Amino acid sequence: MTDGPAVLVVDDEELIRWSLAEELRSEGYHPVEAGSLEEARTLAAKEHLELCIFDVRLPDGSGVDLLREFRERDADLPIVMITGHGNVALAVEVTRLGATEYIPKPFDLTEMMLAVERATKSSRRARELRALRARSARGYGSMIGESPAMMRVFDLLSRLEDADAPTVLILGESGTGKDLVARAIHARSKRRDEPFLEVDCTGLSDTLMNSELFGHERGSFTDAKTRKLGLFEVAGKGTIFLDEIGELSLQTQGRLLRALENRKFKRVGGTTDIEVKARVVAATNRDLAAEVEAGRFRQDLYYRLAVIPVEVPALRDRHGDAALLVQHFVRELSRDLGRPLTGIEPNALARLDGYDWPGNVRELRNVVERAVILSRGPTITVADLPPELSGGRTGGHSLSGGPFRLPDEGINLAEMEHDLVLQALERTDNNQSAAARLLGIGRYALRYRMEKLGLLKKGSATEEGALAEA
């Protein structure tokens, strides 16, 4: 059994159910089959369904009745209706009742899977839009975002508010705002009134890092003139944020692990046990699992820290958030820098929104700050942006908003599509799933184009023929 999204297939023809189930399974779905209304209702009570495919004519009733029942329970559940007895009136009726797609028999498996792909994407967008509208704010703490990627982060953080997990690990590229996540975790927790202490784990020797974390007794090492309390002691019941924890030496990692596991520690050079009461939030831009494999990070410490992992997405994966952040930074920096700007022009905003931002939110803020300082008028224009953004192409992407700039002489679109599909297939050794990812489309969309362009080999899955009308 796969752990993929559950899809309920309801049809009284066993061959059709089997064929659909096999295709769904090959695409990573978890198909469950029913041959009647009664079986469908029983399965629906047991499964968390992501999509349904209903035949209209069933032995004990109509799939239209099933459509009504399921739609009343879940307005966003994608439902594809199929029938060998379709007509215009029936198509209008099931659409009015909320069917996401309507597919008449006989149908091709490619056509059906394209409908499944469209239905799931449409449902996902509807759910995400509803979740966004349900929030009065566009973020969490001091973080801003409306993208599905950030909404997932915000949802996880909201569930942490009452959990008070002793350790949390924040993962993400440099510049994604891992420090903001750490501060939000503290600010929304029961520890909010206790200290929030931060230490950068880069560039400190083992002696200094141990002293910083655990404190030291007078005379425990050279220059230890007096007793010093470490962060674990000063934090009390608050939060200690260990930024770039992947930089710690193996020796310091071992001492940190003992403190976290035993919930006590000794000052450097000390003999008295001190209780650990603080929560530890660690962050890194490294792949700690790979560091463990390479022997540079302790596996036991990794497991201890990663009980609650929070993955902060790169800005390039936060679709739509760049424009939102730009507008926020323009308002904030205009106020802080005393620049009376009224906003940013659409063309300039489109350039910023279409850029890949390898330096993530930190790089975006720096670019906006530069534009605010150098702007000549009441709004930021394209001319106020740095050269790599104000013209030309960078990072393989046209800054006019797309990956390709149309030549003055025009192109032959059919030839280009044929050439791009061929290149993707050659680069992936004819692996259709991998080629589809290179082209940014689904596998069934790729197979549709291959069939249209005459690139499918005889005997391929797509050329097995349409399902016979039931």
Q: Within a 13 Å sphere around the CA of 193, how many CA atoms are in the beta-carbon half?
A: 1
Q: What is the pLDDT of residues 418-470, one digit of tens each?
A: 888 888 888 888 888 778 777 777 666 677 678 778 887 644 433 333 223 33
Query: Domain locations in the chain?
Result: 6-131, 141-311, 318-398, 413-464
Instruction: Return the CATH architecture of domain 413-464.
Output: Orthogonal Bundle (1.10)
Residue 406: band (very low, low, confident or very high) from pLDDT cuts 50, 70, 90: low
Q: Does domain 6-131 have CATH number 2.40.37.10?
A: no
Query: How many Å is the maximal CA-CA distance in the chain?
Result: 91
| Architecture of the 318-398 domain | Orthogonal Bundle (1.10)
> Where does residue 340 rank: exposed (0-12), middle (13-18), buried (19+ CB within 10 A)?
exposed
Q: How confident is the model at residue 402 (pLDDT cuts 50, 70, 90)?
A: very low
CATH entry 3.30.360.10 includes domain 141-311: no
Residues 13/59, Cβ–Cβ less than 8 Å? no
Helix (H, G, I), strand (E, B) or coil at 103: strand
Tokens of 444: 């069934």
Cβ–Cβ under 8 Å, residues 203 and 291: no
- Mean of the per-residue pLDDT values for the chain? 84
Nearest to 66 by CA among 86, 92, 43, 85: 43
Q: Which residues is 380 bridged to in the sheet?
A: 344
pTM strictly above 0.75: no
- Please compute Rg for the chain using Cα positions: 28
pLDDT at 418: 87
* Cross-strand pairs, 242: 199, 282
Q: Is 53 helix (H, G, I), strand (E, B) or coil?
A: strand
Residue listed under structure tokens 């629906």: 44
Q: What is the pLDDT of residues 83-141, one digit of tens each?
A: 766 567 787 888 888 888 888 888 888 889 998 888 888 777 766 655 554 443 467 88
Give the integer Cα–Cα distance in Å for 62 and 44.
Answer: 16
Asked if the domains 6-131 and 141-311 are classified in one and the same CATH topology, the answer is yes
Which has the higher per-residue pLDDT, 274 or 411? Answer: 274
